[in-house]
Amino acid sequence: MKSKAIIKMYLLPTLLQITVIAALVGILKLRGFELGYNSLLGILFISLAGASSALWGIVYQVKCHSKRPLEILKDFFNIKQSVKSYTLVLIFLVLDFSSVILNKGLKIESLLLPLLLFFKAIVFGGIEELGWRYSFQPTLEKKIPYIASTLITFVCWGVWHLLFFYIDGSLGNIHVLGFLLGLLTNSFILSALFAYSNSLWICVMTHALINTFSQMSINDNVLLDYIAKVICIFLAVYLYHVSQKKRTIDK
């Protein structure tokens, strides 16, 4: 029942909402409206589109898991997690950004900037985890193997992102191949961390940190970056299977 409910109550309404908004944006652009971040109407569309994943993730949790909004909020900000979980986040981040680090490509103009970008990234990024990792993929994994579930999540998340980039006007500036490889890597990293920690906050924080460091990255080695991402994916698959074995033993 829940595998069908996740499609009906989460995936379809999430994609429908952002697709309808993208269509409206397209129509208004053809009629000469200025949208994107330069207009109040554009910001409204961007906000409604960006909130779609979180909104329907919450609806799914309330309807299918009988969770109260305050309980979901507590999960979202539950920073009390194991040292091992935070250590794994650090390992993945160092690996994922190893090319940038080695090429001294992190631009930090002030100590306040990363903090501000992080809090911004929680709102514009981290909230997506209410849908994709907290609700969608764990439900898929009950019926479909982990790698297949991650790939399905990646495709759906990728479509969602491309529609969002069209809505906010940044689609033309995106290097699609590089972006999709990064998104695929993030799909594995975040899903493995959730499988290990069973923590929404760990995924929210990691997602926000990835977005923060991506915004501050100005230089890297493409080949080294691709190698690092492949290593991250293999490590994520390994971590997932370790997590499953641990749960089997605990039972």
Residues 68/200, Cβ–Cβ less than 8 Å: no
Residues 108/114, Cβ–Cβ less than 8 Å: yes
pLDDT of residue 36: 87
pLDDT per residue rounded down to tens, the chain (251 residues): 467 899 999 999 999 999 999 999 999 999 988 898 989 999 999 999 999 999 999 999 999 999 999 999 999 999 999 999 999 999 999 999 999 888 877 777 777 888 999 999 999 999 999 999 999 999 999 999 999 999 999 999 999 999 999 999 999 888 889 999 999 999 999 999 999 999 999 999 999 999 999 988 887 788 999 999 999 999 999 999 999 987 777 65
Closest CA to 197 of 60, 87, 74, 93: 87
pTM of the model: 0.94
CA distance 106 to 102: 10
**Number of domains the chain is built from:** 1
Radius of gyration of the chain (CA): 18
pLDDT of residue 11: 97
- Name the residue type at position 60: Y
Domain residues for the domain of 236 are: 2-250
